[in-house]
Amino acid sequence: MKKIIGKLKKLVFGHVSILIVLLCIVPLFFVGGGLFRGVEIEQAPMEQEDLIVVGVSQLGSESGWRSAHTLSIQDALTKDAGYFLILNNARQMQENQIKAIRGFISQRVDYIVFAPVIESGWETVLREAKDAEIPVIIIDRMVDVRDESLYTTWIGTDTKEEGKKAGRWLERYLRKMGRASEEINIVVLQGTLGSTAELGRTKGFCEIAEYHDNWHILEQRTGDFTATRGKEVMWDMLRRHEDIDILVSQNDDMTMGAIEAMQEAGISFGEYGAVTVISFDAIYDALELVKKGWINVDIECNPVQGAYIDKIIQRLERGEPVEKSYVVEENVFTKENVEKFMDDRTY
Ligand code: GYE
């Protein structure tokens, strides 16, 4: 009998202890998942030790340009090229980017790469990365920090120059049309406020506009770089301003939204229309509209930055010095030159 009771005890306590262990372990899984809920950071498996682990925080997926940018990173940082890529989408939220970067630091990745949604507010997290001795490569947009040693290098575009190109194109265009001394009403659809692309393009265009007393910027408003917001804001601007001559739209997605708004409102635009359209990015779909004469000019912004990241990491791996910034090349497209560039455009 004693033996039987003993066996029963073992069985019951054996199960109870398994249960206790399970009760302790299972919540840990949930907590672990919860730490990065909404940020979804992939763990680098142990067997990837011979690969270079790169944590990339992409700011979102708001535009065609952004998709091309993300793709170029994925194309460059492949396993075949020796990388283990952890890619995180911050969905336009700085706090998600900060969480992702902290996650990369705690995983001790080899490099942190990130495209900051806006310029301000990065000091603390960048200092954490520096203290952890993880090199940081900033891509696309810039950060506004006093201490430049908080990042290793930056790869991006000269967005202020892009804004100036738009202004200079408009000067030439108005001269060509014999309208250089007419009163010209301009509306501007801005990108995400406080982002390098918005700040640079706004500043660059305004610098040229300042030389012309007859250029009137009626309104500048953000459409957050998306087609939906671009359409909504354009609708509202058309309702409130009767005589818009020029639309400056800081990316192609907003331009496409604004075009829809103008079509619905019965306003003509483009080469033969009332509203001259100036756009930025030059993604394939927009170049088609340049070819059709719907967009008068598209100022290129080059999203193909993945190969630069690879080159820089390889240099750093060999212990070679890198520049503090790399600016990618860009063009200006109008109906006259657009066709010869379209064949090679993959985005
Ligand atoms: O122009 C826009 C995107 O930061 C340069 O962000 C980039 C901009 C690009 O959403 O389409």
Q: Do residue 6 and residue 131 come from a single domain?
A: yes
Best probe residue, ligand 1, of 57, 62, 66 (max atoms within 8 Å of C-beta)? 66
Q: What is the pLDDT of residues 122-149, one digit of tens each?
A: 999 999 999 999 999 999 999 999 999 9
Residue 90 forms part of a structural domain: yes
Query: Which residues, judged by CB distance below 6 Å to any ligand atom, belong to the binding site of ligand 1?
Result: 62-63, 65-66, 140-141, 157, 197, 225, 251, 280-281, 301
Dist CA 310 CA 82 (whole Å):
10
Residue 265 forms part of a structural domain: yes
Where residue 24 falls among pLDDT bands split at 50, 70, 90? very low
Q: Do residue 18 and residue 30 come from a single domain?
A: yes
Tell me, what's the pLDDT at 314? 98
Q: Do residue 61 and residue 106 come from a single domain?
A: yes
Tell me, what's the pLDDT at 48? 61
Q: What is the pLDDT of residues 40-82, one digit of tens each?
A: 555 655 556 699 999 999 999 999 999 999 999 999 999 999 9
Q: Do residue 181 and residue 287 come from a single domain?
A: yes
Q: What is the CATH number of the domain that holds 27?
A: 3.40.50.2300
From ligand 1's centre to the CA of 127, what distance in Å? 26
Tell me, what's the pLDDT at 3? 47
Q: Do residue 165 and residue 142 come from a single domain?
A: no
Residue 274 forms part of a structural domain: yes
From ligand 1's centre to the CA of 1, what distance in Å? 79
Tell me, what's the pLDDT at 41? 58
Strand partners, 112: 55, 136
Residue 346 forms part of a structural domain: no
Q: Do residue 153 and residue 166 come from a single domain?
A: no
Tell me, what's the pLDDT at 44? 57
Which residues, in sequence order, are CB contacts of 166 under 8 Å at separation 6+? Answer: 201, 204, 205, 208, 248, 278, 280, 297, 299
Tell me, what's the pLDDT at 46? 54
Residue 338 forms part of a structural domain: no
Best probe residue, ligand 1, of 140, 198, 285 (max atoms within 8 Å of C-beta)? 140
Dist CA 52 CA 109 (whole Å):
8
Residue 278 forms part of a structural domain: yes
Ligand 1 atom closest to residue 64's alpha carbon, by position in its atom list = 11
Q: Do residue 152 and residue 26 come from a single domain?
A: yes
Q: Do residue 247 and residue 149 come from a single domain?
A: no
Domain that holds residue 25: 2-157+304-329
pTM over 0.85: yes
Residue 59 forms part of a structural domain: yes
* Overall average pLDDT of the 281-296 stretch: 98
Q: Do residue 131 and residue 264 come from a single domain?
A: no
Residue 224 forms part of a structural domain: yes
* Overall average pLDDT of the 213-242 stretch: 98
Q: Do residue 177 and residue 273 come from a single domain?
A: yes
- Structurally, the chain folds into a number of domains equal to 2
Tell me, what's the pLDDT at 45? 56
What percent of the chain lies above the pLDDT cut of 90? Answer: 86
From ligand 1's centre to the CA of 132, what distance in Å? 30
Q: Do residue 149 and residue 6 come from a single domain?
A: yes
| 171: enclosing H helix or E strand | helix 159-176
Q: What residue owns the CA closest to ligand 1's atom 8?
A: 197
Q: Do residue 192 and residue 170 come from a single domain?
A: yes
